[in-house]
Amino acid sequence: MSEISLPIDWQHVLLRLILAIVVGGLIGLERQLDRKPAGLRTHMLVSLGAAIFVLSGLSGSPIDSGDHTRVIQGITTGVGFLGAGEIISRTDRRKVQVRGLTSAAAIWVSAALGVAIGAGLWFIGLAGGVLTLFVLWGVKQIEERSKLDNDADP
């Protein structure tokens, strides 16, 4: 039986996985505080799962074909199904209500951040996490202020 040899040591693998959890968790915490169904644990798991897939693709194992782009494509497809489940919710048998587009996008971004961190692209993962929080929290504040200003105008 062939032994799996990582191109990096186990401490770096563990650090990447923990960082993926932290970055996904920050995004999930924002969603949780906004009382969205896909919250803290969901985003942490999506980001961690994406990092695990990428690290597995980088492992140099016998099943590794060397084409890491297929791993990323598979993650993107799988997360798309998860996002679709977040968006579409049935209110009754005849009516479909579309909600949760931002939460689905946050899940998608969490996966992308996990991919970046799993691949060892620390700066992209951290910068992307900060920018994602800005979009989810900061831009929401701007939208709410704008709505209040529009509601106050006669």
User: Phi, psi (5° rounding) for residue 100?
Assistant: 85, 20
Written as one letter, the residue type at 136 is L
> Of 107, 1, 8, 106, whose CA–CA distance to 54 is shortest?
8
Tokens of 101: 């587009």
Residue 101 to residue 47: CA distance in whole angstroms: 18
Are 110 and 24 contacting, i.e. CB atoms less than 8 angstroms apart? yes
Residue 75 to residue 114: CA distance in whole angstroms: 10
Tell me the pTM: 0.74
For the segment 14-40, the average pLDDT, to the nearest whole number, is 92
- The strand pairing partners of 98, in sequence order, are 88
Question: What pLDDT score was predicted for residue 91?
Answer: 54
Band the pLDDT of 154: cuts 50, 70, 90. Answer: low
Chain-centre distance for alpha carbon 120: 16
Residue 15 to residue 20: CA distance in whole angstroms: 9
- The strand pairing partners of 97, in sequence order, are 89
Are 50 and 118 contacting, i.e. CB atoms less than 8 angstroms apart? yes
With a cut of 50, say whether residue 2 has pLDDT above it. Answer: no
Q: What are 77-109's pLDDT values in tens digits?
A: 888 887 787 777 655 567 767 788 888 889 989
Q: Of 52-66, 73-87, 101-115, 125-139, which range is least confident? A: 52-66
